[in-house]
Amino acid sequence: MRKNWWEHFYSLSTKPQTVYGIGLMSGTSLDGLDIALVQLNTEILEGKGPGLSLKSFSVLAFETFFYEPDFQASILKAMQGSASNLAHFNTQFGEKMGQAVLTFLEKQQFSAEKLSFIASHGQTVYHEHQTTTLQLGEADKLAKITKVPVVFDFRQGDLAVGGSGAPLVVFFDSWLVKDRNQNLAFQNLGGIANFTFLPPKKNQPGRAKGLAPVLAMDTGPANLMSNLFTFFFTQGKEFYDHNGQYAKKGRLQKELLDWFFQNSHQQTTTKQKKLTSTGHENFGKSLCEKALKNFPLLPLEDFIHTSLLFSAQTLAKAYQQHIKNLDAVYITGGGAKNPILLKNIQTELEKIYKGITFTSF
């Protein structure tokens, strides 16, 4: 292990070089841990004093380590549990991430000694817009196991300087698509739906290097509610609706859809002027359990089918309020593999924007 990590990071920030790092992400869908091995090439940040900027990057390897049902249940328990549950899960997840990184590096035949850092998002167990947020996964445990410096607490850092703590992918999206002449939206469909909106650069004179300001926000659930309904009805045997198989068999229940709007905090993404972030607190286990109690005779398929329309309509309402013109939407995340959710989103957005195009990955 490096003796002086401060000197190590100072060196990374002052000398143009090629560095290697690991990125770790565990999102609201609770399906697994994403691990990416990346190569970053830096350059001097001109006109901004000492410092570096990202010149180029490449993803050398990627893998998702899917969670076992027992571990998924432990995440849900931590979200609803005591301080003891939180503390034990924090340590447990730090160890799990460390072992996963070692397994990943062994598969890639890549030495941990070549890594300059591990960037760990952690598992969000509570998030309240512009107020507080908590991600677990003990960084010291992760660093001890891998012997690599760990960077973490990204959401806390954003909150500390007046941000909402999420979404954070906006920084990458705006860097990736520097040259643009259309109104673009990059839509992620994880447990929660969030977008980055990138307006044309030419309409924003006077910006540094011509880069237009961007807009990013959570809109509400994507897969989260359908995942939980699937988990409940299959008694933990399935954690998501594979390829929308249950949703395809379901029917829209208008009364249930109205209930979702009336009993969730969806209005926070469509009525407030400020950008918002959300999570399990608004659209998670508590809301879904209440829905099951209020509609005890509805079949599983109808809950899932209706929840996916709710996801699409909350998304479309957020777009309508915050985005005047839109030419193209690029859709990523697990929800991009659900044809019912994709169809719902396309239908709802085409009501608002004429000639819009969709691309899903």
DSSP string of 170-232, one letter each residue: HHHHHHH--S--S-EEEEEESSEEEEEEE--GGG-TTSGGGPPP-EEEEEEESSHHHHHHHHH
Nearest to residue 281, comparing CAs of 102, 129, 148, 172?
129
Would you state the pLDDT for residue 47? 60
Same-domain status, 156 and 177: no
Higher pLDDT, 79 or 90: 90
- Residue linked to tokens 């590096």: 105
Q: How far is Cα 253 from Cα 77, in angstroms, rounded to an integer?
A: 30
Task: Say yes or no to pLDDT of 204 above 80.
Answer: no
pLDDT, mean of residues 295-306? 96
Q: Is there a domain that residue 92 lies in?
A: yes
- Out of 160, 188, 221, a domain closes at 160
| pLDDT confidence bin for 268, thresholds 50/70/90 | very low
Task: Say yes or no to pLDDT of 285 above 90.
Answer: no
- Out of 119, 142, 160, a domain closes at 160
Task: Say yes or no to pLDDT of 96 above 90.
Answer: yes
Nearest to residue 264, comparing CAs of 236, 224, 319?
224
Same-domain status, 52 and 200: no
Domain of 235?
170-360
Task: Say yes or no to pLDDT of 266 above 60.
Answer: no
Q: Which of 16-20, 76-80, 310-314 has the highest mean pLDDT?
A: 310-314
Higher pLDDT, 53 or 189: 189
Q: Is there a domain that residue 165 lies in?
A: no
Higher pLDDT, 23 or 267: 23
Task: Answer whether 0.85 is exceeded by the pTM.
Answer: no
Q: Are strands 150-151 and 117-128 parallel, antiparallel or unpaired?
A: parallel
Quick: pLDDT tens for 336-349: 999 999 999 999 99
Task: Say yes or no to pLDDT of 89 above 90.
Answer: yes
Q: How far is Cα 304 from Cα 253, in angstroms, rounded to an integer?
A: 10
Would you state the pLDDT for residue 164? 76
Same-domain status, 114 and 184: no
Q: Is there a domain that residue 70 lies in?
A: yes
Same-domain status, 319 and 353: yes
pLDDT, mean of residues 311-336? 94
- The answer to whether 269 touches 278, Cβ cutoff 8 Å, is yes
Would you state the pLDDT for residue 206? 44
Measured between alpha carbons, how far is residue 347 from residues 217, 224, 357 in Å?
21, 20, 12
Would you state the pLDDT for residue 31? 87
Same-domain status, 185 and 220: yes
- The answer to whether 213 touches 192, Cβ cutoff 8 Å, is no
Same-domain status, 154 and 200: no
Q: Lowest mean pLDDT of 61-75, 190-204, 301-315, name the range.
A: 190-204
Quick: pLDDT tens for 129-174: 778 889 999 999 999 999 999 999 888 888 888 777 766 788 788 8
pLDDT, mean of residues 103-107? 98
Q: Is there a domain that residue 287 lies in?
A: yes
Task: Say yes or no to pLDDT of 3 above 80.
Answer: no
Nearest to residue 181, comparing CAs of 212, 207, 208, 209?
212
Same-domain status, 143 and 177: no
Q: Is there a domain that residue 64 lies in?
A: yes
Using alpha carbons only, what angle is made at residue 26 by residues 330 and 38, rounded to the nearest 5 degrees?
70
Q: Is residue 233 packed enough to be buried (19+ CB in 10 Å), middle (13-18) or exposed (0-12)?
A: middle
Same-domain status, 9 and 126: yes
Same-domain status, 25 and 96: yes
Q: How far is Cα 120 from Cα 118, in angstroms, rounded to an integer?
A: 6
Higher pLDDT, 208 or 31: 31
Higher pLDDT, 6 or 221: 221
- The answer to whether 199 touches 189, Cβ cutoff 8 Å, is no
Total number of domains in the chain: 2
Task: Say yes or no to pLDDT of 212 above 50.
Answer: no
Q: Which of 197-201, 242-246, 261-265 has the highest mean pLDDT?
A: 242-246
Would you state the pLDDT for residue 44? 73
Same-domain status, 223 and 330: yes
Would you state the pLDDT for residue 169? 80
Q: How far is Cα 188 from Cα 182, in angstroms, rounded to an integer?
A: 19
**CATH code for the domain of 270:** 3.30.420.40
Would you state the pLDDT for residue 271? 44
Nearest to residue 221, comparing CAs of 172, 272, 286, 130?
286
Task: Say yes or no to pLDDT of 49 above 90.
Answer: no
Q: How far is Cα 113 from Cα 339, in angstroms, rounded to an integer?
A: 43
Nearest to residue 227, comparing CAs of 65, 338, 137?
338
Q: Residues 6 or more apart from 235 whose CB is under 8 A from it?
A: none
Give me 36's structure tokens. Answer: 């990416």
Task: Say yes or no to pLDDT of 52 above 80.
Answer: no
Would you state the pLDDT for residue 157? 82
Cα dihedral 35, 40, 44, 45 sign: negative
Q: What percent of the chain has pLDDT over 70?
A: 86
Helix (H, G, I), strand (E, B) or coil at 19: strand
Would you state the pLDDT for residue 144? 96
Q: How far is Cα 276 from Cα 269, in angstroms, rounded to an integer?
A: 6
- The answer to whether 35 touches 65, Cβ cutoff 8 Å, is yes
Q: Is there a domain that residue 348 lies in?
A: yes
Q: Following DSSP, what letter does each residue of 229-290 receive, concatenated?
A: HHHHHTTTS-SS-GGGHHHHH----HHHHHHHHHHSSGGGGTT-SS-----HHHHSHHHHHH
Helix (H) or strand (E) holding 143: helix 139-146
Would you state the pLDDT for residue 207? 47
Same-domain status, 99 and 231: no
Same-domain status, 32 and 103: yes
- Out of 160, 183, 211, a domain closes at 160
